[in-house]
Structures are given as C-alpha cells and as structure tokens.
Amino acid sequence: MLRKDINSHLPRYFGRRKGHALSKRRQMLIMDVLPRHSLVFDRNGRLNETASFGREGSLWLEIGFGAGEHLIDQALKNPNINFIGCEPFVNGVATLLSEIERYSIKNICIFSDDIRLLLKTLRRSSIDKVFLLFSDPWPKKRHNSRRLISSEMLDELSKIMSNKSKILVASDDLNLIRSVLNLFYCHQNFFWLADSKDDWENRYSGSIATRYENKAISIGKHCIYLSFTHEIKNYV
C-alpha cells in the first residue's frame, strides 16, 4: 500500500531481502505471528500508535535491527516504552519474532520494509530515541549513495524526532563514521554528545553487544559509538 510512495530511481539502503530458505516454523512466524506485531495505519496512511501498541507512550525506533538482539533487550529493560523495529531482511524478522514469542513481548511492533516508507507515516516530533547500529557501510565508492545516513535522511529524521531526543549510531567502519560525523556536523538540528574519547569508544550504557558487533570485535575491528541530540531552536 505504501510502496508506490518510494521513487523507484532512489538507491536501496539494504541488500538482500531474504537469505537461506526459512524453516517451516519460521515461515509460520512470518505468516501468522508477524501480522499480530505489525504497525497499524489509518485510512490516510498515518501510523495509529494506539491501535498498534494498545496504549499511548514514548516511542523509540530502531532502524535495521538485524537479528533483533538489541531491540529485544531494550524492550525487556524498558517495558513502558513502545518500540518500532524496521528491518526488510525477512530472516532477521523471523528471528526477532521467535524471541518476541519466547518472552511474550508486547511493546515491539515491526515494519518490514524500507525506512523511507515508514518515516512518511509518523507524526512530527513523535520519536524520542533512534538507534542505528552497524548498518551496511557500503564501502565501495560507487555504492556510497546507498548508505542509510545522508543529509536527506537527517532532514526526514529531524521532522519526526522530538526536541531533546537522541539518535545513537554505531559502526566498525571508520570511513562510514567519518561520513556520519560530517553529515551530523553540517545539520543545524543535531549535536554530537562527546566530551572525551571514552564517549565514542565505549558501548552505550544499558545496551548489549549485537551478534555483528561481537563478530567485529572478535576479528580485531574497532567499534565506534556516536550519540547525538536533536534540538530545534525556538522549538514550539
């Protein structure tokens, strides 16, 4: 329904939508469980938060949750927060659904498509925290336009993030980190929260390492953790 709103000429931020064949159980999760944990939209295509979560509350967004380890951990630690997980890779969605069922989690809803489609449905200033952890760095120069964070993406995020909200960005790719820092530095509504190197060399307080992060560390890669605040001057 929302697919037509994305220009087919725009680059994709993600690679494959599906990896190895899903087991019968995982197919069942996608067919039967995913609809119960999917977002609900009104007739105008806007997100209906109350219908989606069965309650009102602070809304946090994780873009590209991978296998969902971080998202599950955050949802369990913050039961009063409503979480949206965005991930187009169906195998990752199935893994997350398995954990949602295992822990009977009620405060996660999933959007299994392009993040740009989701952002169009969100109310202004409705998101209080954004996680963007170890996204595909697209290291080849010809693929740089496929990186998730761009000036255009920051403009869209600024519309839906509340004042004084935070966005956390982590990566083991130093070229991507340099690009991210430059983009945030050039944006008038985002400010880097760092006083010393400890602020970007240590994992965020209250968070766990993801599977990808552990793999990167095991082969000697250096992970960087960036935190930015979203502030609009003369905010109303």
Q: What is the mean pLDDT of the segment spanning 55-69?
A: 96
Indicate the domain borders of the chain: 17-66+77-121, 124-236
Rounded CA-CA distance 167/58 in Å is 15
Cα 84 to Cα 75: distance, rounded to the nearest angstrom:
10
pLDDT at 144: 58
Residue 18 pLDDT more than 70?
Answer: no
Helix (H, G, I), strand (E, B) or coil at 216: helix
pTM, 2 dp: 0.90
The C-alpha atoms of residue 18 and residue 209 are separated, in whole angstroms, by: 24
Tell me which of 9-23, 66-80, 89-103, 197-211 is least confident. 9-23
Q: In which order are the strands placed within the sheet that holds 161-171?
A: 108-111, 82-86, 59-63, 127-133, 161-171, 224-230, 190-192
Question: Looking at 41-107, which runs of residues are DSSP E strands?
Answer: 59-63, 82-86
Note whether 77 and 206 are within 8 A (CB): yes
Q: Measure Cα distances from 99 to 3, 26, 40 in Å.
A: 28, 12, 21
Residue 142, classed as helix, strand or coil, is: helix
For residue 31, give both structure tokens.
């067919």
Q: Which CATH class is domain 17-66+77-121?
A: alpha beta
* Average pLDDT along the chain: 89
For 73-118, the pLDDT digits (tens) are 999 999 999 999 999 989 999 999 999 999 999 999 999 999 999 9
Least confident segment among 45-59, 80-94, 118-132, 133-147: 133-147
Span 210-228, pLDDT tens digits: 999 999 999 999 999 999 9
What is the mean pLDDT of the segment spanning 116-133? 97
Q: 157 is written with which tokens?
A: 């995020």
Q: What's residue 109's pLDDT?
A: 98
Q: Can you tell me the distance from the alpha carbon of 88 to that of 122, in angstroms, rounded to the nearest whole number?
A: 18
CATH 3.10.20.600 describes domain 124-236: no
| DSSP secondary structure code for residue 47 in this structure | B
pLDDT for 8: 46
Same fold? 17-66+77-121, 124-236? yes
Return the residue matching tokens 């793999």: 215
H or E element, residue 169: strand 161-171
Which residue bears the tokens 């380890």?
A: 69
The residues that are catalytic are: 136
